[in-house]
Amino acid sequence: MNSNTELGEFLKARRALVSPAGDGGPRRRVPGLRREEVAVLAGVSTDYYTRLEQGRHKRPSESVLGALAKALELDEAATGHLFDLARSVSGSGRNSPSSSVQRVRPSLHKLLNSFTAHPAFIRGRRTEVLGMNPLAASLLTDFLAKPVRHRSLIRWAFLDPEARQRYADWEQVAASMVGTLRLDAGRHPHDPLLAQLVGELSMNSGEFRTWWADHRVVERRDGIKRFNHPDVGYLEVNYEALDVTGATDQTLFIYTTEPGSESEGKLRDLAARLNSPGAAPRG
């Protein structure tokens, strides 16, 4: 991914999503704001903004970036992504993780396995699953049994037909994962493994190509996931995403169910199946 073009492409894609205020005139040939309208809203010249979109200006100030974020109606995650892109273009971004291997502390593996009633896993860069307990492996898929390069949640979501069956709202989940990967790309623009992953997904999924091109970013901290499990059927879980202290780019996900709900009973049944004497060993 080219840092010199990513910032401009992001700005262009995001202004296309903003509806002009009080636009009652004839229909526009292209959606969203024009360059000169963004420039006026951000308090910069049209020439300056044009040079930003074209990758010909590499050091926008923080005040300009803040004004652009407001003009483009960016939320907190998208604003952070804009600043990451600007830092990478100016050469002041954070160090790239390159192809370094992320590892989960042994104490965290013990913590994951202590959650016998709740699916739990740790996600790293590129949406890779770095650790998970047996209940999470049963609810999703056993990522730790896969080759290391195939342990990405987004890779599974787009390239494994099983994922489309497991996620009851696959399209929403998959599009959200693309937005999460976009955030990762902004933070680590020179990560070769991320570039390989984007290339593989782009070659094999038209849906991924479409969602990747719109430059939306998503940072999920809590919400609801809906699953169709082959053994227990449909169930809904609530999730919380917690940053792992002392471990860069590692997030702990914990799934819970509403007390007294049908989903709680199904998750309890799934856990009992895993703990039964005749249960197949993991992996």
CA atoms within 13 A on the CB side of 211: 22
Instruction: Look at residues 90, 118, 139 and tell me which one is the last residue of a structural domain.
Output: 90
Give SS3 for 221. coil
Residues 187 and 70 in one domain: no
Task: Please report whether residue 201 resides in a domain.
Answer: yes
Residues 219 and 142 in one domain: yes
Instruction: Give pLDDT tens digits for 61-115.
Output: 899 999 999 999 999 999 999 999 998 876 655 555 555 678 999 999 999 999 9
Residues 230 and 110 in one domain: yes
Residues 152 and 12 in one domain: no
Q: How far is CA 169 from CA 172, 228, 267, 273, in A?
A: 6, 10, 19, 25
The domain that contains 24 carries what CATH number? Answer: 1.10.260.40
Determine the residue type at 12: K
Strand pairing class (251-256; 129-132): unpaired
Residues 123 and 239 in one domain: yes
Domain range for 223 is 106-275
Residues 227 and 166 in one domain: yes
Task: Please report whether residue 98 resides in a domain.
Answer: no
Task: Please report whether residue 83 resides in a domain.
Answer: yes
The pLDDT of residue 283: 37
Instruction: Give pLDDT tens digits for 145-198.
Output: 999 999 999 999 999 999 999 999 999 999 999 999 999 999 998 899 999 999
CA atoms within 13 A on the CB side of 173: 21
Contact by Cβ (8 Å): 13, 219: no
Residues 164 and 236 in one domain: yes
The pLDDT of residue 281: 42
Residues forming beta bridges with residue 217, ordered by sequence position: none
Determine the residue type at 128: E
Residues 66 and 178 in one domain: no
Instruction: Give pLDDT tens digits for 39-48.
Output: 999 999 999 9
Strand pairing class (233-243; 120-123): unpaired
Residues 81 and 123 in one domain: no
Tokens (6 digits) for 33: 């704001």
Give SS3 for 100. coil
Strands (DSSP E) contained in 94-162 are 120-123, 129-132
The pLDDT of residue 269: 95
3-state SS track over 35-90: HHHHHHHHCCCHHHHHHHHCCCCCCCCHHHHHHHHHHCCCCHHHHHHHHHHHHHHH
Task: Please report whether residue 185 resides in a domain.
Answer: yes
Residues 226 and 125 in one domain: yes
Rounded CA separation 238/120 (Å): 12
Contact by Cβ (8 Å): 136, 151: no
Residues 58 and 166 in one domain: no
Residues forming beta bridges with residue 234, ordered by sequence position: 228
Task: Please report whether residue 126 resides in a domain.
Answer: yes
Residues 221 and 255 in one domain: yes
Instruction: Look at residues 35, 62, 90 and tell me which one is the last residue of a structural domain.
Output: 90
List phi, psi (to 5°) of 55.
Answer: 75, 20
Contact by Cβ (8 Å): 217, 81: yes
The pLDDT of residue 43: 93
Contact by Cβ (8 Å): 247, 105: yes
Task: Please report whether residue 281 resides in a domain.
Answer: no
Residue 218 pLDDT > 60, yes or no?
Answer: yes
- Taking the model in full, what pTM does it have? 0.86
Instruction: Look at residues 47, 65, 90 and tell me which one is the last residue of a structural domain.
Output: 90
Please classify residue 147 by burial: count the beta carbons closer than 10 Å to its beta carbon, then call 0-12 exposed, 13-18 middle and 19+ buried. exposed
The pLDDT of residue 282: 45
State the total domains in the chain: 2
Task: Please report whether residue 283 resides in a domain.
Answer: no
Task: Please report whether residue 221 resides in a domain.
Answer: yes
Q: What is the CA radius of gyration of the chain?
A: 21
